[in-house]
Amino acid sequence: MCAISAPFPPIPLKEWGRLKGEIVTLFWEDRYRRQNNKGLYTRTQVLDFIPEKPDPLLVILEHGSPHRVHASQIEKLIQYP
């Protein structure tokens, strides 16, 4: 028998700065996902957070190299305990 756990809540944008070095799962915004042929989500390591206005940047590890992603391109960001 398998237990069903509650879904993980998304991490608010104001807390993304604390994620440096952490492994997260980010769910892509639908339009960005279609335009860039991305899957529904990516499990990756956060390398840095750049709180630029008006659209902050999350630097993630993608295919072995740093990749900058705008917050507007991410539907939600979660972290497993």
Give yes or no for residue 76 having a pLDDT over 70: yes
Say if CB 6 and CB 61 are below 8 A apart: no
What average pLDDT does this structure show over 4-25? 88
Mean pLDDT over 29-57 rounds to: 94
Q: Give the pLDDT score at 5.
A: 55
Q: What local confidence, expressed as pLDDT, does residue 80 receive?
A: 79
Write down the CATH number for the domain with range 18-78.
2.30.30
Q: What is the reported pLDDT for 52?
A: 86
pLDDT value at 6 more than 70: no
In three-state secondary structure terms, 32 is: helix
pTM recorded for the entire structure: 0.83
